[in-house]
Chain A
Amino acid sequence: MKIGEHDWNLAPLGKYIWRGRMETGQLLALARAVKDEGGQLVALWGSDDRHLDAGFCIHAAFLTSAGLAWVSSTLSVDNPAYPDLAHIFPQADRMQRATFDLLGIRAEGAADERKWLRHGAWQETTFPLRKDFDTGQPPAHELDAYPFIRVQGDGVHEIPVGPVHAGTIEPGHFRFSIIGDRVLKLEERLGYTHKGTEKRFEGMDLDAGARLAGRVSGDSHTAIAWAYCMAVETATGCSVPERALWLRALFLEIERVANHLGDLGYLGNDVALSFGFMQFWRLREDWLRVSARLFGHRYLFDRIVPGGVAADLDDAGCAVLGTLADRIEAEVRELKTIYDEHAGLQDRFANTGIVKPDMAARLGLTGLAGRASAQAWDARVQFPQPPYDQLEVDMATQRQGDVLARAEVRFAEVYESLRLIREILTRMPEGELRAPLKPMHAVCEGLGWVEGWRGEIVVAARIGADGKLDRVHPHDPSWQNWPTLEVGMLGNIVPDFPLINKSFNLSYSGQDL
């Protein structure tokens, strides 16, 4: 596969998914070539491969003009280190720091070497994702003592917020440096929900892995479970039945609609239009109840399983879902008119929390927030996995990069997802729901790539010779988008933070792992 002038010797691993191994120097050169052609770093993680006689390993997934490229470099056992990638792709910063916390693999020359996922539960000298990590060791109970970056000068003061917030939100800490109400700097401190998810995957059987993958971030259950299943199906050479693939796409669009409806309601709520909250959450509740009735779970948990799906839809169910989709669309269009006409709401939405297109490109802003800042990427559009290759998704984009733009993208995506749902309902082929996974007797690996409601989900999986999971890395787009929220907050006033934060609606659990 060529990127720029050079052929990087990558082999196809799946549709639009490429795989290669290279020296760390070449990895750096590849990163530059990807940057030059306008691509992005999507994910960066490490692994302890000493039990496979392969030392430590650093992995990166790049978005390129030919699809997603998963490349790995083997690192020495004694001094596992690789060249810093954050000076090329700033979004690598926190991923590199997390990789050190979990594996002791260092990014050489990195500007920021502060800890990230490690607070005080384990010591700086022990690394939980190493295979020889002593799981029985008592927790360290150290103080976090995280060195925040201080802003100094006349009249500057700090507001620390969290980890326990005033609303029903996940835990995280936000440190505002302000003059008056104006924000000079926002610094995030995340990792509070770190649950050792990646360690938990180790040794699990493939079905249990799907359940855990779905609980990396509950609001993206379907997207992450699908990406995980795609990875293990690629690894084991499983051919998923057509009908199962169409049902997965149906579930994914149902999840997208549910989340967008919820966010549109909360965006109204955050500008004191509780009417908007009540209306959108009424629609959302109707939507969830129909999911529960048709598929047995309000959020479709555990309905995607390795090899296929664990729920079907009959003709009567299709009619129910189709009718509800029509009604929801009609009502959302009415509510859109009200949001458009409401002067107070427009005043708060417009020009608030701006991330301009060039900044979004530099920082790797992705998913729906990226599309609201003219980053025209949607894996369903450019690199469609089945059945999206037969669906022709219409991508929604905006250029302003403010709260209003992110709301507009959500409205457009609700309409498009409802259209897709109706199309899937009429075109879904008959057939089996699940194909058995072949038992493998050698180490094998695969990667899954799914455009979730928040952005692109990547899951890389390696299965050991015993048929159990050896290493799974689930990547949530919140990794890239959290740092960009800090930028979007600059120059805004503190009371607009809940609104701006909600307009991104990023996952804590998805990045804390």
Chain B
Amino acid sequence: MATYLILQKLFRTGIVSEPAPQADPALRTREQELHEEILGVFGQAVAIRHVDAGSCNGCELEIHALNGPHYNIDGMGVKFAASPRHVDVLLVTGPVSRNMEVALKRAYDATPEPKWVVAMGECACTGGIFGESYATCGKISNVIPVDVEVPGCPPTPVALLQGILAAVSSKKA
């Protein structure tokens, strides 16, 4: 019964990933570009490890959203992996809380070369509303080297994809 209902729902839903009728047209061309760029650079895949270095969890909402069917990142070869040892890109959110400073450095050290760091969100780029204090080190680049900064509070999934693209493109340069 459940299988029948699932299949029925799948057929009714169709594929939402490709030209979504309600999506912004500019957004769609960007998705296509991203696809080619990433395939061009990495051949098959970019693996990403997310590290929350002290975020308010707003940015995490958009990372989750990026994994949804509208964005089809698997189809683009972008994959989130479970360990920093398995990835090309570290995606870091939050101002770096002092309580996460050591863990972030260790995650960075555990990531094999070549590696790129994408700082996601206002706090990650500038320290944001939390700034630097007894409890935070401020922006990510105060703690580890950063390749790309994606501003926004939080950045949209599309902006985030653009940031990931910018990071992997730098390999060509």
Chain A interface (Cβ < 8 Å from any Cβ of B): 119-122, 128, 133, 135, 137, 139, 163-164, 166-171, 191-197, 199-200, 208, 211-212, 215-219, 221, 262, 266, 275, 277-279, 281-282, 284-286, 288-289, 298-299, 301, 334-335, 337-338, 341-343, 507-509, 512
Are A215 and B133 in contact, CB atoms less than 8 angstroms apart?
no
Are A196 and B134 in contact, CB atoms less than 8 angstroms apart?
yes
| One of A166, A168, A192, A279 near B60 (C-beta < 8 A) | A168
| A335 to B2 CA separation, bound complex (whole angstroms) | 10
Are B70 and A135 in contact, CB atoms less than 8 angstroms apart?
no
A-B contact sample (18 more), CB < 8 A, given A135-B134, A215-B153: A121-B135, A166-B82, A171-B51, A191-B99, A192-B97, A192-B99, A193-B55, A195-B130, A217-B57, A219-B57, A219-B61, A221-B58, A278-B69, A282-B13, A282-B16, A288-B65, A335-B9, A341-B5
| One of A168, A197, A212 near B64 (C-beta < 8 A) | A168
Are A193 and B54 in contact, CB atoms less than 8 angstroms apart?
yes
- A453, chain B: closest CB distance, angstroms: 12
Residues from chain B with a CB closer than 8 A to the CB of A278 are: 68-69
Knowing A135-B133, A168-B50, A192-B103 touch, does A218 contact B68 (C-beta < 8 A)?
A: no
Are B2 and A285 in contact, CB atoms less than 8 angstroms apart?
no
Are B156 and A282 in contact, CB atoms less than 8 angstroms apart?
no
- B164, chain A: closest CB distance, angstroms: 14
| A279 to B11 CA separation, bound complex (whole angstroms) | 12
| A221 to B58 CA separation, bound complex (whole angstroms) | 9
- B16, chain A: closest CB distance, angstroms: 6
| A416 to B160 CA separation, bound complex (whole angstroms) | 33
Are A121 and B2 in contact, CB atoms less than 8 angstroms apart?
no
B52-80 vs A: 1/0 string, CB under 8 Å?
11111111111111011110000000001
Q: B173 at the A/B interface (Cβ < 8 Å)?
A: no
| A114 to B65 CA separation, bound complex (whole angstroms) | 38
Residues from chain A with a CB closer than 8 A to the CB of B156 are: 298
- B104, chain A: closest CB distance, angstroms: 8
- 23 A-B residue pairs with CB within 8 Å: A120-B98, A121-B98, A128-B135, A164-B51, A164-B52, A167-B80, A168-B52, A193-B56, A195-B135, A195-B136, A196-B133, A199-B135, A215-B130, A221-B58, A275-B10, A282-B70, A285-B70, A288-B65, A298-B156, A338-B9, A342-B6, A343-B2, A512-B99
| One of B22, B64, B107, B136 near A196 (C-beta < 8 A) | B136
- B81, chain A: closest CB distance, angstroms: 9
Residues from chain A with a CB closer than 8 A to the CB of B80 are: 167-168
- Among A192, A199, A334, residue most surrounded by chain B Cβ atoms (within 10 Å): A192
Q: B166 at the A/B interface (Cβ < 8 Å)?
A: no
| A289 to B136 CA separation, bound complex (whole angstroms) | 32
| A252 to B103 CA separation, bound complex (whole angstroms) | 35
| A284 to B68 CA separation, bound complex (whole angstroms) | 9
Are A215 and B56 in contact, CB atoms less than 8 angstroms apart?
yes
Q: B94 at the A/B interface (Cβ < 8 Å)?
A: yes
- B19, chain A: closest CB distance, angstroms: 15
- A266, chain B: closest CB distance, angstroms: 8
Q: B95 at the A/B interface (Cβ < 8 Å)?
A: yes
Q: B129 at the A/B interface (Cβ < 8 Å)?
A: yes
| A167 to B58 CA separation, bound complex (whole angstroms) | 16
| A197 to B94 CA separation, bound complex (whole angstroms) | 13
Residues from chain B with a CB closer than 8 A to the CB of A262 are: 61, 64
- A367, chain B: closest CB distance, angstroms: 16
Residue of A nearest to B24 (CB): A289
| A120 to B103 CA separation, bound complex (whole angstroms) | 13
Residue of B nearest to A337 (CB): B5
- B107, chain A: closest CB distance, angstroms: 5
| One of B83, B100, B134 near A128 (C-beta < 8 A) | B134
Query: 8 Å CB contacts to A: which residues of B99-125?
Result: 99-100, 103, 107
Residues from chain A with a CB closer than 8 A to the CB of B57 are: 170, 217-219, 507-509
Q: B163 at the A/B interface (Cβ < 8 Å)?
A: no
Residue of B nearest to A166 (CB): B82
- B76, chain A: closest CB distance, angstroms: 16
Residues from chain B with a CB closer than 8 A to the CB of A194 are: 54, 97-99, 135
- A205, chain B: closest CB distance, angstroms: 13
Residues from chain B with a CB closer than 8 A to the CB of A288 are: 65
- B73, chain A: closest CB distance, angstroms: 12
Are B60 and A193 in contact, CB atoms less than 8 angstroms apart?
no
B82-98 vs A: 1/0 string, CB under 8 Å?
11100000000011011
Are A199 and B129 in contact, CB atoms less than 8 angstroms apart?
no
| A337 to B1 CA separation, bound complex (whole angstroms) | 10
- Among A135, A163, A197, residue most surrounded by chain B Cβ atoms (within 10 Å): A163
| A281 to B71 CA separation, bound complex (whole angstroms) | 11
| A281 to B69 CA separation, bound complex (whole angstroms) | 7
Residues from chain A with a CB closer than 8 A to the CB of B133 are: 135, 195-196, 199-200
Are A299 and B58 in contact, CB atoms less than 8 angstroms apart?
yes
| A277 to B64 CA separation, bound complex (whole angstroms) | 10
Q: B154 at the A/B interface (Cβ < 8 Å)?
A: yes
Residue of A nearest to B110 (CB): A164
Residues from chain A with a CB closer than 8 A to the CB of B60 are: 168-170, 218
Are B58 and A193 in contact, CB atoms less than 8 angstroms apart?
no
Knowing A167-B82, A301-B58 touch, does A334 contact B16 (C-beta < 8 A)?
A: no
Residues from chain B with a CB closer than 8 A to the CB of A275 are: 6, 9-10
Of all A-B residue pairs in the complex, the 7 with the closest CB atoms, nearest first, are: A218-B58, A196-B135, A281-B68, A121-B98, A166-B82, A341-B2, A342-B2
Query: 8 Å CB contacts to A: which residues of B10-55?
Result: 10, 13, 16, 22, 50-55
Are A289 and B22 in contact, CB atoms less than 8 angstroms apart?
yes
Residue of B nearest to A190 (CB): B99
- A326, chain B: closest CB distance, angstroms: 16
| A164 to B103 CA separation, bound complex (whole angstroms) | 7
Residue of A nearest to B59 (CB): A218
| One of A139, A192, A337, A342 near B54 (C-beta < 8 A) | A192
Knowing A192-B54, A193-B97, A200-B129 touch, does A279 contact B59 (C-beta < 8 A)?
A: no
